[in-house]
Structure 1
Amino acid sequence: MNEFYPEIEPYNHFLLSVDQQHEIYVEECGNPNGQAILFIHGGPGGGCSTNDRRFFDPEKYRIVLFDQRGCGRSLPHGCLENNETKLLVEDIEKIRTKLNIDTWHVFGGSWGSTLSLVYAQTHPSRVEGLILRGIFLGRPEDTNWAFSGGGATRIFPDFWQEYLNELPEGTGQANVKAAYDIMTGDDKALALKVAKAWSIWEIRCCTLIPNQDFVDAATGDEAAWTLARHEAHFMINDCFLSDNQILANCDKIKDIPTTIVHGRYDIVCPFDNAFLLHKALPNSKLIVSEASGHASIEPNTKHHLIAATKAAIK
């Protein structure tokens, strides 16, 4: 079973100004002369962790990680203005140009898979390969599944009820728009309360086996504030994507080597997301991570992702 590579520290990190408002945190790890690979985190609003560096052989890869607009170490923290998918894609290109990278591999999970796919479809000549995990296609039905009383709430009704208990009107506000209005409203204490409840609901659903340490690590005040508010912001805007945009544009990336790893029992992003993507990319490799949910740290999923990064080394 593949395990994480040893912990490493960045050899370079900086804030990159991408417009008059936003600065995004960028770091490089591993071998400066290695094969370039970009890690795209989930959420939206999740930010990168130290373990995210560890999917890649540091002797072989030049590992680039960044925190998307308004989250993690990017500034201003929590900012939702000028924060949409097209601009995030532009940010990725600005990072590539800044680092003088011609082409690179792209590795993304959950929302990171969404952004990876949109980036690749926008700039296919810059992407040597895709390694994707926990596919989220960004369609309204994908949002409703987890956050508007969809199928996930039937699988974890107890967790969902605990989320509803934190909403002033309970079931009457069991939709993304209602939560977004609270989390962007004037009552900051209530906004944070709902943001934490939203984050706890989602993160509890991420692993097949309950993992309280995993939940605690991802739902502190700062992390919950950006995760929940960013997710709601993108979701009420249909992730700033056109109708079925990703599947409709797969012809643009049909020749890019693509590995898809998806947990069989993923409750946050159901397996049919990955299955549909694989059908739209018949040359892709679909790996079903058995006995796994959504999280990248689950043993089988971690194993398959590290195997994919090993296989991509030239």
Structure 2
Amino acid sequence: MPFPPVEPHTTGRLTTGDGAELYWEESGSRDAPALVWLHGGPGTGLGRGGYRRQPDPAKWRIIGLDQRGCGRSTPLVDAPGPALDALTTPRMIADLEELRAHLGVSAWLVAGGSWGSTLALAYAEAHPERVTALVLAAVTTTSRTEVEWITESVGRVFPREWERFAEASTRRPGERVIDAYDRLLRDSDPAVRAEAARAWCEWEDVHVSLTPGWAPNPDFADPGFRARFATQVVNVWSRSAFLGDHGILDRLDRIAHLPAVLIHGRLDVSGPLAPAWELHGRLPLSRLVVVEDEGHGGPTMGDEIGRAYASFGS
């Protein structure tokens, strides 16, 4: 069960080397081992702070941040321009290193969900000496194969909705749907971008809709959120997270010594179990937890995240 709600005792804004400002917050014990949570998306932000309820606040220094371009970080990225061009995985890895140094953390447990699991893995591969353990939920590596599944192949499960999604992309002959949306979301016409963001977020609701207890994402009713979310997701997905076609999987030897807990829903249609299974097979110190009755998130998955933290706690 999650711990009672806990509010941050410290918040701040970090100006990064390229001039962006990152919102960060701390809760829990100032003297305990550090844990950093990486939210999904990219582009969702920390939201309502539910991530703070899984770690025991008496045993962890709990750190969260709104990744660049979203939430309370600035500039917000919802349109083409220099801020979008800077929204790359290597730059977000650098952001984490700047935040770690700013907070005086020598090493931390790195946790993340969905896109946050990709960023956590990429960060760990870049700076393995700064990571004590990994806790990853709704595991993704944002490889080209995974992106093509979620934007093309999963249409076999939702053919009517996918056809509408593909038609709205106005894709050209031979153009991937994801690349067509990238083109639209970089268009100079705000109306073109707004319609592309609406269609994209409609599809986002579709491919997670088989999760038990599913309800439409209320944040997608906000045109500003839709623009930020769609722009950031498509920018990163269309470029395989800026990590190459295989990305994370090509550098697993750098983190083979790290303990990890991988938590995934059996019913996750949009992000199938296969990547988590492969990671588990190639990370000798990993433990795979399959939540049989949940998809891309859920209360049991939250409980398993808490158990994973407890297994690493003092």
TM-score after normalising by structure 1: 0.91
Where in structure 2 are there 5+ consecutive unaligned residues?
Answer: 78-82
Shift of 1:124: 1.0
Q: Distance between the aligned counterparts of 2:124 and 2:283, measured in 1?
A: 13
Task: Output aligned runs, 1:215-230, within 5 Å.
Answer: 215-217=217-219, 220-230=222-232
Aligned to 1:155: 157
- Work out which of the residue numbers 276, 279, 293 in structure 1 matches 2:278: 276
Tell me, what secondary structure is at the counterpart of 1:80? helix
- Work out which of the residue numbers 277, 290, 293 in structure 1 matches 2:292: 290
1:305 and 2:305 matched: yes
Task: Output aligned runs, 1:137-156, within 5 Å.
Answer: 137-147=141-151, 149-150=152-153, 152-156=154-158
Contact 2:257 2:284 in 1 (8 A): no
Task: Output aligned runs, 1:70-219, within 5 Å.
Answer: 70-78=69-77, 79-147=83-151, 149-150=152-153, 152-164=154-166, 166-167=168-169, 175-206=177-208, 208-209=211-212, 211-212=214-215, 215-217=217-219
Q: Distance between the aligned counterparts of 2:293 and 2:93, measured in 1?
A: 33
Aligned to 2:80: none
Structure 2 counterpart of 1:118, one-letter code: A
Q: Distance between the aligned counterparts of 1:174 and 1:130, measured in 2?
A: 33
Shift of 1:48: 1.0
Tell me, what secondary structure is at the counterpart of 2:217? helix
Structure 1 counterpart of 2:85, one-letter code: E
- Work out which of the residue numbers 40, 43, 57 in structure 1 matches 2:41: 43
Contact 2:171 2:177 in 1 (8 A): no
Q: Distance between the aligned counterparts of 1:98 and 1:139, measured in 2?
A: 31
Encode CA deviations 1:206-244: one digit per residue, 9 max, x unaligned: 3512522x5113552232222211111112222110342
Q: Distance between the aligned counterparts of 1:97 and 1:84, measured in 2?
A: 20
Contact 1:259 1:285 in 2 (8 A): yes
Give percent identity, aligned residues only. Answer: 32
Aligned to 1:61: 60
Contact 1:260 1:286 in 2 (8 A): yes
Q: CA separation of 1:98/1:138 partners in 2, compared to 1, >3 Å: closer, same or farther?
A: same
Encode CA deviations 1:129-151: one digit per residue, 9 max, x unaligned: 1001112122111111111x21x
Q: Distance between the aligned counterparts of 2:124 and 2:18, measured in 1?
A: 26
Shift of 1:64: 0.6
Shift of 1:19: 2.7
TM-score after normalising by structure 2: 0.91
Shift of 1:161: 4.1
Contact 1:164 1:170 in 2 (8 A): no
Q: CA separation of 1:204/1:28 partners in 2, compared to 1, >3 Å: closer, same or farther?
A: farther
Q: Distance between the aligned counterparts of 1:170 and 1:71, measured in 2?
A: 30
Encode CA deviations 1:176-230: one digit per residue, 9 max, x unaligned: 1111111121221231222132123224433512522x51135522322222111
Q: Distance between the aligned counterparts of 1:278 and 1:133, measured in 2?
A: 13
Q: CA separation of 1:308/1:203 partners in 2, compared to 1, >3 Å: closer, same or farther?
A: farther
Where in structure 1 are there 5+ consecutive unaligned residues?
Answer: none
Contact 2:37 2:65 in 1 (8 A): yes
Aligned to 2:233: 231
Shift of 1:117: 0.7
Structure 1 counterpart of 2:143, one-letter code: R
Q: Distance between the aligned counterparts of 1:219 and 1:286, measured in 2?
A: 35
Q: CA separation of 1:269/1:93 partners in 2, compared to 1, >3 Å: closer, same or farther?
A: same
Q: Distance between the aligned counterparts of 1:309 and 1:115, measured in 2?
A: 18
How large is the RMSD of aligned CA atoms in angstroms? 2.1
Q: Distance between the aligned counterparts of 2:220 and 2:60, measured in 1?
A: 27
Q: Distance between the aligned counterparts of 1:158 and 1:8, measured in 2?
A: 43
Q: Distance between the aligned counterparts of 1:176 and 1:109, measured in 2?
A: 22
Shift of 1:310: 1.8
Q: CA separation of 1:278/1:241 partners in 2, compared to 1, >3 Å: closer, same or farther?
A: same
Encode CA deviations 1:280-309: one digit per residue, 9 max, x unaligned: 1132101111111112xx122122111111
Contact 2:169 2:177 in 1 (8 A): no
Q: CA separation of 1:155/1:36 partners in 2, compared to 1, >3 Å: closer, same or farther?
A: same
Structure 2 counterpart of 1:92, one-letter code: L
In terms of mean alpha carbon deviation, does 275-284 or 187-196 score higher? 187-196
Contact 2:24 2:64 in 1 (8 A): yes
